[in-house]
Structure 1
Amino acid sequence: MNARTDLSVSQGAALSVGAVLGTGLISLPALAADAAGPASLVAWLALIVLSAPLAWTFAALGARYPDGGGVSTYARMAFGPRIAAAVGWCFYFAVPLGAPVAVAFTGGYVSDVLGGGRVTELATFLVIVGTAYVMNLFGLRVSGRVQLVLSVSLALLLVVTVIAALPHARWENLTPFAPHGWTGIGAAAALLVWGFAGWEALSSLSGEYRNPRRDVPRATLIAVAVVGVLYLAVATVSVLALGPDLAGSRAPLADLLAIGLGGPVRVLTAVVAVVLTLGAVNAYFAGSSRLGVALANEGALPARVFGGQRRSLTFIFLASIACALLSLDLHTATLLVTGCFTLVYVIGTAAALRLLPAGWSRVVAGIAFAAVVTLLWLSGPPALLSLVIAASALAYQAIVRPSRAKPSSISSGSTAPNPTTSPEAVRDGCSA
């Protein structure tokens, strides 16, 4: 049987977990605690609950319309090619914005071991992003199996961290519960979108299952349960064991392991963080560079700048460096990226409302749509960037796009439109 249509439930669930369980968890507990204190646990729980209807919506789309194009395909089916291109813009320009954030998470672990603060973090960024650029420039890819091993390794590290730190949990660390008020929970929830980006991979993988209508819902339930348990366990233990120190930590997993196991665990977690982040950045550069070419071929981006894999890749690399030099605080930079992801989810769930038949699937899609619109609003002013990007995509196509459109390269089965949702990208471990 063709490998593209021979994905089992367990394999699909593992790939979905790998797509969601990304680099963010190594620092998100600290960022969320900084925004909301112990009440950040409410935000974690809210995002986990949101994951169910969001994941189910994309699973329903995938089961009904098995395809590799992901959100771009559904946006095209529901709203036309211009909205599909706007989705592509949001993903494409989120990558250079997100690379400094992802590496900043890891840079905190490296500087925790080596010292040097901001200088060490910037050096870590240049090494990881430069390595990813060179690897993609010469066509070197991290295999899907290696990326799956990295995701499994992260999951095991999280389990070990929770078990090791659990004896040090203290209930008194829950007070004061909401030091920044209840509005802090909304701010934390907007940040946590980073850790939950990837559920759209369920729809892109749908065409690979042996029986999509039967297997996609099963894999979805397994993936949601595994991710939810891991995230909530790590967040809860982080709050209970580290207490007020969590909010200021740049390496919360290392801090948890240190109080639980001692020894050279900080070096171990730093190495794991670097390898995991390099794999993720490499996959994002690979997927998004193809996405830029696809958008240029479609006429949705200028071909002189983005036409050709090398040009598209070089733009992402240079734009990533430029974004890193902006010296935005990590909180704001994360919201800029999660705003782009959230807008894509808004478009994706809106498409589901038009494409899914009347019934429970559409009701669930409506719940997911309302939730992601709320998250976009909770992101505050940084969310405006995603709206500017989408509006720019529409304006560019209205003004510059040739009247005779080329055959769509952002179409059904395309692996280029969405670096986080195409089957190849998911198998290569492209996750947040």
Structure 2
Amino acid sequence: MPRIKSPQLLVAESGTDREGHGLRRTMGLFQLICFGVGAIVGTGIFVGLSDSVAQAGPAVVVSFVLAAVTCVFTAFAFAELGGAIPVSGSSYSFAYAGLGESTAFLVGWCLLLEYGVSVSAVAVGWSQYVNELLDSLLGLRLPDALSAGPGDGGVVNLPAVIVIALAAVLLVRGVRESARATAAMAVLKLAVLVAFCAIGFTAFQDGNLTPFSPAGLGGIGAGTTAAFFSYIGFDAITTAGEEAKNPRRDIPVAILVCIGLVTLLYCAVALAAIGAIGGDRVGGRPAALSHVVDEVTGSGVGGGVIAFGAVVAIASVVLAVMYGQTRILMSMSRDGLIPRVFEKVSPRTATPVAGTLIVAVVFAVPAAFASLDSVVNLCTIGTLAVMAVVNVAVLALRRREPGLARTFRVPLYPVTPLLGVGFCLYLMYETGGTTWIQFAAFLAAGLLVYVLYGRRNSRLTAAGAPVTPDAAERAPSAV
């Protein structure tokens, strides 16, 4: 039988109903919503929009809606489990409670893709808009040698390293400071995108939306897979379970508000951009939003404002996603599945200082030297696999723990989580055979790490805990 930790044991070990492991409760509902927006809205819309348009044309709006539908079904699952099991481990902990330790470890392993690759890719995108901003303000650009990795014609991507370092410094200082900075950046980037829509719609022409779907259903499907990258990060809200003031109430609300807000914003931005200058001039163009504003206004000033918004927006994604990664690693470390250095919390700042610095260094290396375009699909398939597992965990826990206190319940159960699994599998299929082979190799490596290290050092093993769910509830806490 699987080595399962009950929700009650996970909550008890995390200290969620008090102060958890030195973490402090400082985040209210507004901060959680801003944190979610900060984690989602960034490279996907400022940089990745052009890739989605290149695949789907004006029908990219449909692609954004389909990607959002996939996220909504899974957001319901995260909302239910985030309210019922409000701990820092997020989907890793949900899988531990619903499907067992080995699955949980592989979920945590996949989250290295979702958070690690996405942070590195986002940092590389930040570099593009830093150059755009410098060009607009000063007429200068950083040399390729210092603003791109070897795979993109440079030597080292220095701005990418800088933004990761700045995020690490802010995270180390404390959650309250990080939450305030994230809230300010989220409000600013929403204002910039609303301003972009206002400018774009002044030049809107119906003819720019035809042909609406030049590549047909295949293009919409490929565009949906590309657009999905724009939604990655909403699950990071659940990693704040031990630092939210009222996690059982606020986490489900924050997740659903974020998905609705971001979907409306993405569709409006896509329509404004394509309607203003046409899909063929948006698709495949770096810094596409700045280009649209420059074309519409005939001036570089508006594009500079958009570039500034993008610099802020993408920096907030780095901050929020790095936060989520450190909290998941902290949860895995508590369980003994990875080295204990990641669970240590500074009594002065109430943050995992060592874990944050390690994460920053590990994320900065690929951002500085690697071309990450080839692994974006791998990041997407890993994220979709995690989302599918979370939907399955809802089904498993509804059967195993019918009396579990749930502040939010997935509507139309069990149809909704089953649809969530189905949509995730469809988008995983759309990533292509090469990505599946890479993903299988990645999972095999993770399973090997679990067998050689994780299972041997698991605190369930150390405590001699039986593997049945009932016994797991009686297992002694090792913290």
Which TM-score applies when normalising by structure 2? Answer: 0.73
Change (3 A) 1:115 1:18: closer
The answer for unaligned runs of 5 or more in structure 1 is: 410-432
TM-superposed CA distance for 1:6, in Å, is: 8.0
Deviations 1:327-362 (A, max 9, x none): 35x3x3322222222121122112112123697233
Give the SS at the match of 1:200: helix
Contact 1:58–1:199 at 8 Å: present in 2 too? no
Looking at structure 2, the residues matched to 305 and 205 of structure 1 have their Cα atoms a distance apart, in angstroms, of: 16
* Contact 2:39–2:236 (8 Å) recurs in 1: yes
Alignment partners' CA distance in 1, 2:82 and 2:270: 31
| RMSD of aligned alpha carbons | 3.7
CA contact (8 A) 2:35 2:182 kept: no
- Residue 54 of structure 1 pairs with residue 74 of structure 2: yes
Pairing partner for 1:372 from 404, 408, 424: 424
Residue aligning to 1:128:
160
Higher RCO structure (Cα 8 Å, ≥6 apart)? 1
**Partners in 2 of 1:179 and 1:318 — Cα distance?**
41
Q: State how far apart, in whole Å, the 2-side matches of 1:100 and 1:65 are.
A: 29
Distance 1:324 1:344, change over 3 A: farther
The aligned amino acid for 1:269 is I
Q: Distance in 2 between matches of 1:312 and 1:220?
A: 24
1:101 aligns with 2:145: no
Using the alignment, how far apart are the partners of 1:5 and 1:305 within structure 2?
21
Moved more, 306-315 or 398-407: 306-315
Match of residue 386, structure 2, among 344, 360, 365: 344
Shift of 1:72: 0.9
- The match for 1:24 among 34, 41, 44 is 44
In the alignment, which residue of structure 2 is the partner of 1:156?
Answer: 191
Are positions 1:321 and 2:365 aligned together?
Answer: yes
Report the secondary structure of 1:356's partner residue.
helix
Residues 333 and 393 of structure 1: CA distance in aligned 2, closer, same or farther (over 3 Å): closer
CA distance, structure 2, for counterparts of residue 24 and residue 371 of structure 1? 20
- Partner of residue 194, structure 1: 229
1:118 shift after superposition = 4.9
What is the identity, as a one-letter code, of the residue corresponding to 1:317?
V
Residue-pair matches, total: 405
Judged with a 3 Å threshold, the aligned counterparts in structure 2 of structure 1 residues 38 and 115 are, in CA distance, closer, same or farther, namely farther
Q: Quote the offset at 1:296 in angstroms.
A: 5.6
Distance 1:67 1:408 in 2: 22
Q: Give the residue type in structure 1 aligned to 2:106.
A: A
Instruction: Give 1 or 2 for the bigger CA radius of gyration.
Output: 2
Q: Deviations over 1:366-399 (max 9, x none)?
A: 1111111111111223254344333322222223
Q: Give the AA of the match of 1:264.
A: V
User: Judging changes above 3 Å, is the alpha-carbon distance between structure 1 residues 392 and 224 closer, same or farther for their aligned structure 2 residues?
Assistant: same
Question: C-alpha distance in 2, partners of 1:146/1:281?
Answer: 12
Q: Which amino acid aligns with 1:193?
A: F
Specify the code of the residue in structure 2 equivalent to 1:128.
Answer: A
Q: Is the 8 A contact 1:13 1:222 kept in 2?
A: yes
Q: What is the alpha-carbon distance in structure 1 between the residues aligned to residue 377 and residue 319 of structure 2?
A: 22
Is it true that 1:406 corresponds to 2:471 in the alignment?
A: no
> For 2:26 and 2:329, how far apart are their aligned partners in 1?
27
Cα distance between partner residues in 2 of 1:300 and 1:6: 28
Query: Counterparts of 2:367 and 2:383 in 1: how far apart (Å)?
Result: 17
List per-residue Cα deviations over 1:228-248 (Å, max 9, x = no partner). Answer: 211110011112112111013
CA distance in 2, matches of 1:38, 1:197: 22
CA distance in 2, matches of 1:209, 1:92: 27
Cα deviation code 1:88-110 (max 9, x no counterpart): 11222444422342133233323
Partner SS, residue 212 of structure 2: coil
Query: Partner of 2:406 in structure 1?
Result: none
1:266 corresponds to: 303
Partner of 2:450: 397
Deviation at 1:32, TM superposition (A): 0.2
Instruction: Determine the structure 2 residue equivalent to 1:225.
Output: 260
Cα distance in 1 between the residues matched to 2:295 and 2:212: 23
